[in-house]
Copies of this chain bind each other. A is one copy, B any other.
Amino acid sequence: MKLNLMDKHQEVLDKAVQALHERTFFAHYPENPLPDVYGENADKEGREKYKEHLNNNFTELLQQDPAAWVGQEESPYEQQALGVKYPYFDPETLVNRAEEAYHQWRKVKPADRAALLVEALENIKPRFFEIAYATMHTTGQAYLMSFQASGPHAADRALEAIASGYEEQTRFPESTEWEKPMGKYNLKLNKSWRAVPKGVALVIGCSTFPTWNTVPGMFASLVTGNPVIVKPHPKAVLPIAIVVAEVQKVLQENGLDPNICQLGVDADDKLITKDLAEHPKVKLIDYTGGTEFGNYVESLPGKTTFTEKTGVNSIILDSVDDLDKVAQNLAFSVTLYSGQMCTAPQNFYVPETGIKVGGETVPYEDVVEKIAGAVTALVNNPKAAPHILGAIQNPATAERVKSASSVKGREVLSTCDFENPMFSNARTCTPVIYEVDATEKESYSRELFGPVVLIIKTKNTEQSIEIAKTMAMSHGAISCGAYTTDPAVKEKIMDEMGLAGTPVSFNLTGNIYVNQNASFSDFHVTGGNPAGNASFTNPEFVIKRFTWVGFREPAMG
C-alpha cells in the first residue's frame, strides 16, 4: 500500500475490538453535528454540496464505461425528483468486474484490508453533512436523524463490522509448528491457515436507511476479502453512492482495483436485484427490506445470506413508577421518523384490568388515554414535532396509515393533519392509534409499516407476554419495550422474549428510546426470529463470509 495505513489506524482498530467485548459506550464518530467538532461551515458546505448533485450526473465513481445514466430519486419533503443520474452497468458486467477484483482483494492481508477501510471511513467523515442532506431528501428523515443515522452512527456500525472481521480473521495463528510426541521421536508438521473469502458479495439496500443498513454488510464482506456490489434502493441512492465513491478512491490511491467495491443501480426501466442475487458467482447476500423479498433471498440455493426483514415490535405494560413519563417516552418512539424505523414499536399490550402505577391501579382506559394524549401533545408541539416526524418516504405508507381499514378496532387517535413549516409540500402523517381486542389476532399479526399503533387489550400481563412472544416467533420482532416494577415479571419477560430472540428494553423514560441501538453494545436484530437471520455485529455476521482452510507439511530437520 502507498501509505502505512495499518500504523495509522491500529489504535482505533484495537479500541474498536476492545469495545466489542466490553460493550460499554464507544463511538469513534461524534454523533452531534456541532461546529466545533465538524467545522464552522460544515453544515452550510454540506448543504451546498448536496445541491450541486441535483440535476447532475454523479461522476465520482471510478467504474468505467457505463451503459447509461439513470436515476429515480424524489424528495419526500419537496415531492419532486432530485434529478441525480448514476452510471448504469448490466449485472453481468458488475459480477465479472467483481470476480476479477476478487483475485486481487483476497490476497490483501486482513489487517491491511481493515486499515484501508478505516481510512475510507475517515474520508467519509468530512462528508457527513452532505450525506445528511442526501438522506433527508431521499428517506424523509428529519435533519438530525439524517445526520446521525447516515453519518456517525452508520460509520460506527461500519467500524464495528471492520473490527469484528479483523478480529475473527486474526483469531487463529497464520502458522504454527505442530509437534506430537511419538515415543521414540517427535512428529513435526509446519501448519498454516488462511481465511479464504467466499467470493462476490451483494448488498441490497433499503429506502429508509440507505447507509446505516447497508454499511455493516458492505464493510463486513470487504474486510473479509470479498468484492462487493452495493445495490441501493432506487429511491435512496445518493447517500450510499458517496460512501462507495470514497471507498473506491482509497482503493485506487493504494494501487487496488476500485471495482472491489461497486455501485450497481437499477436502470429506470429494469430492476437488477434478482439478476444479481441469482448469479452463480454471487456467494454472499446482505439484504434489508420487506419480508417477502427477504424470504426469496434466504431461499436462494448456494448463497450465504444476511437478512433484516420486518417484524411486529411490542410494548408490554405491566407496572410503572410514573405513567406520564412512560407515555411521553412511548409517544416519542412511535412519532420518531413517523414510525418508519424497523425498531419502532407497534403492538402495545395493556391488561384489561389496568396497570399498577406506583402501587395504585390505573384502569385500562386511562392508560390508553394517557398514551393518546402524549402523542397528541407531541405532534402538536410545533418546536419539536417537525424535527421528530420528518416526512413519509413512500406514498404507499401514507396511504396505508390513512386507511388502515383492515384493523378491526376502535380508532383512538386519527392521523395526518400535520404541516411541515419548512417544507410546505412535505409528505407527512402523524401516528394513528387503534384499540384492538386480543382476540382479533388477524389485525395485529403483521407489520403495519409507518406510524400505526395498536393497543391490544389483554386479560393480564401473562397473556401480554404470551402474545408478544408468539408474534415474535411467528412474524419476527426486532425490539420489545417492557414496563414492570416486579422483578419476577421482568425475569419472565426476559426468559420468554429471549426464547423469541427479541431484545428487551425495560422501563425506558427520558431521552432513551426502544428504537435506538448503540453500536459496539446493542446487537441489532438477533437472527433468532423471522425478522432476520443476521445480527449487527455478532461474530456470526463476519465469520460466515470466509472459510478457514489449513495446510500442513512435515517440518524439515
Q: Chain B's nearest CB lies how many Å from the CB of A471?
A: 16
If A180-B518, A547-B526 touch, does A553 touch B23 (CB 8 Å cutoff)?
Answer: no
Interface 1/0s, chain A 527-555, versus B by CB < 8 A? 11000000100111001100111111110
| A404 close to chain B: CB less than 8 A | no
Q: Chain B's nearest CB lies how many Å from the CB of A363?
A: 26
Copy number in the complex reads 2
| A407 close to chain B: CB less than 8 A | no
- Report yes or no: A511 in contact with B187, Cβ–Cβ below 8 A: yes
Interface 1/0s, chain A 269-312, versus B by CB < 8 A? 00000000000000000000000000000000000000000000
| A494 close to chain B: CB less than 8 A | yes
Residue from B178, B198, B497 within 8 A of A521 (CB atoms) = B178
User: Which B residue's beta carbon lies closest to that of A497?
Assistant: B549
- Report yes or no: B554 in contact with A507, Cβ–Cβ below 8 A: yes
Residue from B511, B540, B548 within 8 A of A523 (CB atoms) = B548
| A358 close to chain B: CB less than 8 A | no
CA distance A553 to B177 in the complex (A): 48
| A176 close to chain B: CB less than 8 A | yes
CA distance A503 to B550 in the complex (A): 5
| A509 close to chain B: CB less than 8 A | yes
| A353 close to chain B: CB less than 8 A | no
Q: Chain B's nearest CB lies how many Å from the CB of A170?
A: 11
- Report yes or no: B173 in contact with A22, Cβ–Cβ below 8 A: yes
| A512 close to chain B: CB less than 8 A | yes
If A503-B551, A553-B507, A554-B508 touch, does A528 touch B179 (CB 8 Å cutoff)?
Answer: no
If over half of A's interface residues share one DSSP class (helix, strand or loop), that class is named, otherwise mixed; here it is: mixed
- Report yes or no: B23 in contact with A547, Cβ–Cβ below 8 A: no
Interface 1/0s, chain A 88-104, versus B by CB < 8 A? 00000000000000000
| A498 close to chain B: CB less than 8 A | yes
| A499 close to chain B: CB less than 8 A | yes
- Report yes or no: A528 in contact with B180, Cβ–Cβ below 8 A: no
Q: Chain B's nearest CB lies how many Å from the CB of A38?
A: 16
Q: Which of A49-57, A189-197, A390-398 contacts B (4 or more CB under 8 A)?
A: A189-197
Q: Chain B's nearest CB lies how many Å from the CB of A100?
A: 14
Q: Chain B's nearest CB lies how many Å from the CB of A445?
A: 18
- Report yes or no: B176 in contact with A552, Cβ–Cβ below 8 A: no
Q: Chain B's nearest CB lies how many Å from the CB of A157?
A: 16
Residues of A within 8 A of B (CB): 21-25, 168, 171-173, 176-182, 187, 189, 191, 193-194, 196, 198, 494, 497-499, 501-512, 518, 521-523, 526-528, 535, 538-540, 543-544, 547-554
A-B contact pairs, 23 of them (CB 8 A): A22-B173, A22-B176, A23-B173, A23-B176, A24-B178, A189-B512, A191-B521, A194-B494, A196-B499, A198-B528, A502-B549, A503-B550, A503-B551, A504-B551, A506-B551, A506-B552, A507-B554, A508-B553, A523-B548, A523-B550, A526-B547, A539-B539, A540-B543
